[in-house]
Structure formats: C-alpha cells, structure tokens
C-alpha cells in the first residue's frame, strides 16, 4: 500500500513540474474569447444535464430498490403525456440554443467582411518549421510572427509539402494548411505579449516540434521591428566572418537566403538575414544561442531527426559560419 502511495506521490510531483500548454480558455483576442465563452456555456449546460439525469437515476434506484419481505413492484407510469413532452421539448430547446450560439461564434471566428485589413501576412508550412512573409513590407522571417496590437491581420495559408494546421490557441482557432490550396484566416489581439502556436495536424516524425510564436507588439515596437527586418543582412568585417559569409552565400544558398525580402517559398530552409533577431530556431524547438547553433551545425539529425538539413561541415568551416551568423541581428 505504501509503495503504491509513493508511486502516486512521485507521479503527482512529476506532473506538477510540467509547464501547462497554452489554452484558448485564457483568450487574448476577441476570436478566442468567443470560443472560450461557447465552451464554458456548453460545459455548464452539460454539467447541469448530467447532475439532473444522474440525480434522478440514483433517486429512483434508491427509492424503488427491492426490499426484504416486499414483493410489490414500484408504481408503473405509462403514457404520461406531460412527462414525455417535457423530456422531449427541453433537449430540443437546448439544441436550438446551442445552434444559435455556435453560429454566432463561427461568424465571429470567420473574418468579418466589414473589417479592413491593417496587415497582410502569408504563412507557409514546411516540414517542420513555419515561414512568415510580409509581402507589403518586403519581409521574410521564420518561426516568430510579429503583429501590432489592435491590428486586423489577414493571413493567407500555404504549404509546400503536406497538410499542416496553423493554431494559436489564445488568439485564434485552427485552420488547415493544405498543399495547392490557399486557406485564409484572421488574427487580432488587444494584449501585448508572446503567444505560443503549434502545428495541429500530424505531418511527420517531428510534428510535435513544429512550433512558433506570435508576438503582439505595441505599434512603436512593431515599427522598430519592421525597420530592422527591412535592413540588408550584415556585411562581414573580419577574415573569419568573410569566410563564413562565403559559405552562407555559397553552399548554404541552395536552401537559405540572406535577402530579407526573398519570397521564394521553394527554399527549404528559413531566411537567415536577421537570424539572431529571433529567440528560437529549428521550428521553435531550441533557444537560439551560440551553443545550440554550434551543436546544430555539428549534427542536425541528432537534435531534430528527419529534418532536411542533413549535412557535414568541417570544424573550421563551422566556426567561420558561426562567426558570421552571430552578427545577423
């Protein structure tokens, strides 16, 4: 008994250390707020129905149970029109109410036709990372999507390989990202902050590591971010940086670009023009710092098996590449 208790306590302690996932029940936008309200109403209605039904069931079982020395059957009720109408009409009314609220929520989640777009973004799903393009601003980045507070953001969704699903629980519902098809959605938030997103459609071995962030900035901070992203990539100053730059613009250019406005979605790797302006890499899996980047270039498959970057780089060349990449801010 004590052994089982110890196992349960250990499991409880282990689970308590797990970081809770983002949830639409903590909404940071009008879209998720509608979804959360609908969920809560349905949950309360379901709990009320459950309590009433189970309470009536327990009452009948206790009241009409068979007793010793009493063979008399409980009172039998047949053709009670009032009772039958009651338990038929109430569920119908509940379904009608839920239908009306669901339609209202669907209309709120769908981009309202009267809203004028403040920002247009193209989201491209890759295995296993997200590309974020700002065609009107001439910006291409990855894994971290910046939007200004209070803006109406129209999003076009594309995939270059398999079906993905774009989901930011605290800001929006899920929308599939389908090859050869342009799906759309919208985003908005009145709260500055960082909101975690995730691919919500199984897309391969590293599906769980296809994460991203939506960063809601003040208008001033967003404008500063845009100005920095529009700058050309850093030009090398030292000999090692020059050697690293030659590698990045040479062999690495088959998959990556240093042009901050390169909208070529056929590139299988993220745009590197302002790499260190981001806080994570490899699909939001690892913190972006020199140590992790060095480990990544040494053996990408050990860190994220199955990714498209399966290369071998000599230690000296690796050092030169890193000396240049560290300046891409």
CB contact set of 51 (below 8 Å; sequence gap of 6+) = none
Distance CA 274, CA 277 (A): 6
224 with 298, same domain: the answer is yes
* pLDDT reported for residue 20: 57
> For residue 180, what are its two tokens?
């050869």
Block means of pLDDT (10 residues each) for the chain, 329 residues, are 51 49 85 92 93 92 80 76 88 93 89 78 94 95 95 94 95 93 92 94 92 96 96 94 93 91 85 95 93 93 90 91 94
Tell whether 139 and 84 lie within a shared domain: no
Residue 5 inside a domain? The answer is no
Count of domains in the chain? 2
295: in domain = yes
Predicted pLDDT at 9:
53
Q: What is the pLDDT of residues 226-237, one digit of tens each?
A: 999 999 999 999
Phi, psi (deg, nearest 5) at residue 185:
-160, 180
Residue 250 · residue 229 · CB < 8 Å: no
Are 59 and 136 contacting, i.e. CB atoms less than 8 angstroms apart?
Answer: no
> Is 321 inside a domain boundary?
yes
pLDDT at 71: 72
Structure token pair of residue 49: 């129905």
pLDDT of residue 108: 84
In a domain, 178, yes or no: yes
The answer to whether residue 225 sits within a structural domain is yes
**Residue 8: its pLDDT value, please?**
52
Do 145 and 212 fall into the same domain?
yes
Structure tokens at 89: 């009409």
Q: What is the CATH number of the domain that holds 84?
A: 1.10.287.90
Q: What is the CATH number of the domain that holds 180?
A: 2.60.40.420
Is position 17 within any domain?
A: no
In degrees to the nearest 10, what's the CA dihedral of 62, 63, 68, 72?
-140
Q: Examine residue 139 and state whether it is found in any structural domain, yes or no.
A: yes
What's the pLDDT score for residue 311? 85
301 and 157 in a single domain? The answer is yes
Examine the domain organization and report whether 245 and 299 are in the same domain. Answer: yes
User: How many CA within 13 A on the CB side of residue 190?
Assistant: 6
Instruction: Give the per-residue pLDDT at 123.
Output: 96
- Asked whether residue 83 falls in the same domain as residue 228, the answer is no
Residue 6: what pLDDT? 53
- Do 151 and 269 lie in a common domain? yes
Regarding whether 202 and 84 lie in a shared domain, the answer is no
Residues 112-147: pLDDT tens digits? 666 788 999 999 999 999 999 999 999 999 999 999
- Closest residue by Cα to residue 133 from 273, 256, 141, 214: 141
Quote the Cα angle for 228-325-167, to 5°: 65
Instruction: Clarify whether residues 124 and 228 are in a common domain.
Output: yes
Q: Is residue 43 domain-shared with residue 161, that is, in the same domain?
A: no
Q: Two tokens at 193?
A: 């902050």
Has residue 247 been placed in a domain?
Answer: yes
User: Exposed, middle or buried, 266 (CB in 10 Å: 0-12/13-18/19+)?
Assistant: exposed
Same domain, 189 and 328: yes
Residues 104, 238 within the same domain: no
User: Residue 57 is part of which domain span?
Assistant: 30-61+78-109
Beta strands (DSSP E) in 75-192 are 119-126, 129-134, 139-142, 144-148, 153-159, 164-167, 175-177, 183-187
Distances, alpha carbon 75 to alpha carbons 58, 71, 264, 307, in Å: 17, 12, 77, 70
């Amino acid at each position: 008994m004590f052994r089982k208790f110890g196992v349960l306590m250990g499991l409880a302690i282990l689970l308590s250390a797990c970081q809770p996932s983002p949830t639409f029940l903590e909404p940071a936008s009008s879209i998720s707020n509608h979804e959360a309200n609908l969920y809560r109403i349905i949950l309360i209605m379901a709990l009320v129905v459950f309590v009433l039904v189970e309470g009536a069931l327990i009452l009948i079982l206790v009241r009409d149970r068979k007793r010793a020395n009493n063979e008399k059957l409980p009172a039998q009720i047949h053709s009670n029109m009032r009772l039958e109408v009651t338990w038929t009409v109430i569920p119908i009314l509940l379904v009608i109410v839920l239908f009306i609220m669901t339609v209202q929520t669907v209309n709120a989640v769908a981009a309202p036709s009267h809203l004028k777009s403040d920002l247009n973004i193209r989201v491209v799903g890759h295995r296993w990372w997200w590309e974020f393009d700002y065609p009107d601003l001439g910006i291409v980045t990855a894994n971290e999507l910046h939007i200004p507070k209070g803006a109406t953001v129209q999003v076009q969704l594309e995939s270059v390989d398999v079906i993905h699903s774009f989901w930011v629980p605290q800001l929006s519902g899920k929308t599939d990202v389908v090859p050869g098809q342009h799906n759309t959605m919208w985003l908005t938030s009145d709260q500055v902050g960082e909101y975690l997103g995730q691919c919500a459609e199984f897309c391969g071995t590293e599906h769980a590591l296809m994460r991203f962030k939506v960063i809601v900035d003040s208008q001033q901070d967003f404008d500063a971010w845009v100005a920095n992203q529009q700058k050309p990539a850093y030009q090398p100053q030292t000999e090692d940086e020059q050697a690293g730059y030659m590698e990045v613009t040479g062999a690495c250019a088959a998959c990556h670009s240093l042009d901050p406005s390169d909208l070529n979605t056929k590139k299988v790797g993220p745009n590197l023009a302002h790499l260190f302006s981001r806080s994570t890499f490899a699909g939001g899996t690892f913190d972006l710092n020199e140590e992790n980047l060095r480990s990544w270039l040494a053996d990408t498959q050990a860190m994220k098996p199955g990714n498209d970057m399966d290369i071998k780089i000599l230690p000296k060349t690796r050092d030169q590449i890193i000396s240049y990449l560290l300046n891409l801010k």
